[in-house]
Structure 1
């Protein structure tokens, strides 16, 4: 690379702002940090759902293409992925060569980037938040599908120059299945430009908020099952979901079956800036991961956004989220309980009986912003990327 030439990075991701997701926030902040360091940044992504308000970061070129979405308007499922991946191959082929390519899974997208990065003779890195093959085993028992996905995922990850992995347990799992690509555990955090504490009066009666995707993998229906026991002690309590996912209809049906549909609300995804004050005023946020083997090394990232807004967390499940809350050294971060209806209801009732006062919420948000900021992670990603292209 010639001295003094502006470095170029292309980020290939099916999901980017204004779509509401952890990946959208993370990749936007990465793009902004690359731009702040003098890189020319291009994002190749999908067109958002009709009516979405686009607010792209300044100085970053975002190119969007049509894509197939499911009935929840998500780019999810392999027909949707292919509707993004096939055009992506041509978009990369005819785009000016980048010094570095960054790719967000699924594995098919990673495989496309491996091929095109090789043709362009440039390195690529992967933002690795999960091991997709094991997550797919939760929704299909088809051995051909699982076997194909395992090979495609391994091939894509092995070709990368670096994996920016969510945490060390995921790296350990990848090593166990024979993926030896250099990896850095960069951790998780919150977008503290949007998630912060604004003094909000505590609701009466109590309100519990779930913000994010609700899929079979997340197992969010446990909070619906726990609500009858909460309502016995706290009549009028509400459980409010903001997000979307394939479990929505099943959870709505379960609420009707339990006769608590008036106490459980389902809302569409909302932007972080709108969700933050809701969390700031909630009794607690709730998060879960189903007790299945892939979740032994998965982390519920929504806990970081909640803490940054000054809202304590009730987590149901196992894995690194348990260790995070238990080892946080903060008395008000929240609690981790077993994925069990009785345990979840007890935690919700305890939170409702002793809501966190405003002063403690402000201190919790300040602590979270110091310790877990996506901006600090982005700085490390860009520094590692400079080292990669330097080699």
Structure 2
């Protein structure tokens, strides 16, 4: 399946990007791929994005740049508007097979899940063209974490392994993910660790802030089983025993949202609100105004290697993070080593203490200095623009 022919003229490079999510949809993956697309265009490539029709909840907006074509196709979505689940994935992947067959390209880039990757791998083999695979995480670990049947885990492992071993480049967002990719037998020289980042043109310390002056904590982005955001709702109960007016605001969606809403109703319905999916600019406003941003990874589910994008979004706005998770997790190390906030054990009591610590510092000069330092670190080390540039260089390198 390894391609053997590629164009020599870099200026004429035609790239096709296969992804079920793309701007204006709000997700970390959509942000990464938009940054990659812009960097490819800046390197004189043309880019055709084969993606889906966004849901009605997606922010309005169009990506218009010379050399960019976005082809959208209807797809099945779950009740929350997500392309999540085997049937939903296939509703994108089956048409993708035929869309790729009639697309002219020199290089393909596939975004997860592995079912999409295997379609791109198969068509690229037929067309004798190279392809890259963007591995923001390891899907085998994810399906195992949610207790999927053994045969499903085995099938995903096979698909993921074949896709990555035959790719000309596999893009990884961290050293930890790179290690997991290598465990599939992928040639280390084909793995490019490009890092993770955030759009600092949107997420920065300057600009409007959300709220009405009441102190609050904010959780933004995906709400899934392996994140375990219920720990924050239980922690809020303890915090409000000492600070009765503090609030908790959720923005985003995910498979655990209904469970979180039910728990909020049982505990503190007057203090917890769910704002749904909001545009990145509005999300940044709510993060800027928060006492702290809440990030979690439930220990023992196989995701301790993850460094959630919401950590970078919060720090880019200067807001300290309360990270709940294992002491040995990569997310905890990220927060501790770079002064991005406070790490707490994955218990309501530990999280409550961390939240109270940030409440005690809120509004002080020390807090202001911390906000400036966090935003500066992100600008230097985790700008999505730099990540997009690194990813573009890596996927184009095999073309010579």
Verify same fold: TM over 0.5. Answer: yes
Match of 1:103 in 2: 110
For 2:153 and 2:10, the matched residues in 1 are separated by 46
For 1:336 and 1:57, the matched residues in 2 are separated by 41
Does the 8 A contact of 2:165 with 2:185 survive in 1? Answer: no
Match of 2:244 in 1: 235
Match of 2:159 in 1: 152
Residues 324-363 of structure 1 aligned to structure 2 (within 5 Å): 324-328=334-338, 330=339, 333-357=340-364, 359-360=368-369, 361-363=371-373
Match of 1:246 in 2: 255
For 1:174 and 1:382, the matched residues in 2 are separated by 19
User: Structure 2: which 5+ runs fail to align?
Assistant: 1-6
Match of 1:46 in 2: 52
The secondary structure found in structure 2 opposite 1:297 is coil
Per chain length, whose mean CA-contact separation is higher, i.e. which structure has more relative contact order (CA < 8 Å, sep 6+)? 2
The secondary structure found in structure 1 opposite 2:171 is strand
Q: Deviations over 1:117-172 (max 9, x none)?
A: 11111111111111111210233341221211111111111111111111111221
Match of 2:181 in 1: 174
User: CA shift at 1:244, angstroms?
Assistant: 0.3
The secondary structure found in structure 2 opposite 1:20 is coil
The TM-score, its normalising length taken from structure 2, stands at: 0.92
For 1:342 and 1:2, the matched residues in 2 are separated by 60
User: CA shift at 1:30, angstroms?
Assistant: 0.7
User: CA shift at 1:293, angstroms?
Assistant: 4.1
User: Structure 1: which 5+ runs fail to align?
Assistant: none
Does the 8 A contact of 1:103 with 1:126 survive in 2? Answer: yes
The secondary structure found in structure 1 opposite 2:51 is strand
User: CA shift at 1:362, angstroms?
Assistant: 3.8
Q: 1:303 to 1:203 in 2, by over 3 A?
A: farther
The secondary structure found in structure 1 opposite 2:380 is helix
Equivalent residues, number: 385
Match of 2:18 in 1: 12
Does the 8 A contact of 2:10 with 2:45 survive in 1? Answer: no
Q: Deviations over 1:211-264 (max 9, x none)?
A: 100010111111011111111111111110000011111111112222x01111
For 1:5 and 1:372, the matched residues in 2 are separated by 28
Tell whether 2:343 aligns with 1:366: no
Q: 1:325 to 1:356 in 2, by over 3 A?
A: farther
Q: Please provide the CA RMSD for this pair.
A: 1.8
Which runs of structure 1 show a deviation greater than 6 angstroms over 4 or more consecutive aligned residues? none
Q: Deviations over 1:182-221 (max 9, x none)?
A: 2121111111111111256797542100010001011111
Tell whether 2:327 aligns with 1:320: no
Does the 8 A contact of 2:297 with 2:304 survive in 1? Answer: no
For 2:257 and 2:144, the matched residues in 1 are separated by 20
Q: Deviations over 1:10-54 (max 9, x none)?
A: 111001111110011110011011111111111110100136413
Residues 119-134 of structure 1 aligned to structure 2 (within 5 Å): 119-134=126-141
Tell whether 2:138 aligns with 1:138: no
Q: 1:324 to 1:57 in 2, by over 3 A?
A: farther
For 2:363 and 2:199, the matched residues in 1 are separated by 22
Which stretch has the larger CA shift, 275-284 or 85-94? 275-284
Q: Return the match for 2:392 from 371, 382, 385.
A: 382
For 1:129 and 1:294, the matched residues in 2 are separated by 15
Tell whether 2:230 aligns with 1:221: yes
The TM-score, its normalising length taken from structure 1, stands at: 0.94
Q: Return the match for 1:72 from 58, 76, 80.
A: 80
